[in-house]
Copies of this chain bind each other. A is one copy, B any other.
Amino acid sequence: MNPQQLETLLAEVAAGRLEVAAALEQLRHFPTELLSYAQLDHHRTLRQGHPEVVFCEGKSIEQVVTICERLAAASGGFLGTRATAEQARALAARFPDLEWDPVARTVHRAPVRGASRLGTVLVASAGTSDLPVAEEAAVTAAAMGCRVERLIDVGVAGLHRLLNARDLLTLAEVLIVVAGMEGALPSVVGGLVGVPVIAVPTSVGYGAAFNGLAALLAMLNSCAAGITVVNIDNGFGAAMAAVRILTGRKSA
């Protein structure tokens, strides 16, 4: 039940065309339908702003293509993460304007809209093996309307490379900092800047890295105050957190 339907119902009651008891019955399911408003509003906002997102991992080629076709029909575009080469090729056959990024493992079809309208996200990564996660974050943020800068291979064991990039660090409104192994980069970056720092641990490393656990724990225990953390390898989630921050900022 949407607001118009609710207004109609009340008008019916006011006009004596609907009994109070009958109206009461119809309102039984009102709560969830009211909540559906928000959902619909949200969908509208999404359609106007950024594309829908599909997590492709574990889905069949057929499922991915079908879902993307439905999204494209509804809003013009879509973003797929964790896409395999096979999935990407099938989508490209269907959508000639598809952008496939094999490092980020993303497939993206932009809805028709103008240039970036949100602020700048800097995606910094510690090592070359962290790039898939960093790129997933970068592509997602860009698809959502952010301006994206990249800073790669700035692991803390070679501090000068990070310090050389201080201009870039101070320019960004939000930093996404991606690191595996000992996960120290967000702590160092967090001490250099005052803007929001979203730390992304990666499963890069071996042995006692325990598939990203070492980096995750390090980031949660950062001595730089105000760092926040997302799940291991969750570049997508970090980008969405940046979008939450920048969306609010834009309307400020």
* Inter-chain pairs besides A36-B160, A206-B234, 9 sampled, C-beta below 8 Å: A6-B24, A14-B16, A157-B224, A182-B184, A184-B187, A188-B188, A195-B248, A196-B244, A198-B228
Chain B residues, Cβ within 8 Å of A27: 6, 10, 30, 34
A207 to B23, CA, bound (A): 49
Give the 5 A-B residue pairs with the shortest CB-CB distance, closest first.
A207-B232, A31-B31, A226-B240, A184-B184, A228-B228
A77 within 8 A of B: no
Chain B residues, Cβ within 8 Å of A241: 196, 226-228
The reply to whether B34 and A30 form a contact with Cβ atoms under 8 Å apart is yes
Task: Tell me the nearest residue of chain B to A63, going by C-beta.
Answer: B128
Cβ of A54 to closest chain B Cβ, rounded Å: 11
Cβ of A12 to closest chain B Cβ, rounded Å: 10
Task: Tell me the nearest residue of chain B to A197, going by C-beta.
Answer: B244
Chain B residues, Cβ within 8 Å of A231: 206-209, 220-221
Cβ of A35 to closest chain B Cβ, rounded Å: 4
The reply to whether A188 and B207 form a contact with Cβ atoms under 8 Å apart is no
Q: Mark A105-127, 1 if CB is under 8 A from B, else 0.
A: 00000000000000100000011
Which of A37-45, A68-76, A85-93 lines the interface with chain B? A37-45
Given known pairs A35-B160, A158-B39, the reply for A127 and B223 (CB within 8 Å) is: yes
What number of A residues sit within 8 Å (CB to CB) of B? 105
Task: Tell me the nearest residue of chain B to A230, going by C-beta.
Answer: B228
Report A194-221 residues with CB < 8 Å from chain B CB.
194-198, 201, 203, 205-221
The reply to whether B13 and A183 form a contact with Cβ atoms under 8 Å apart is no
The reply to whether B225 and A160 form a contact with Cβ atoms under 8 Å apart is no
The reply to whether A32 and B129 form a contact with Cβ atoms under 8 Å apart is no
Cβ of A56 to closest chain B Cβ, rounded Å: 12
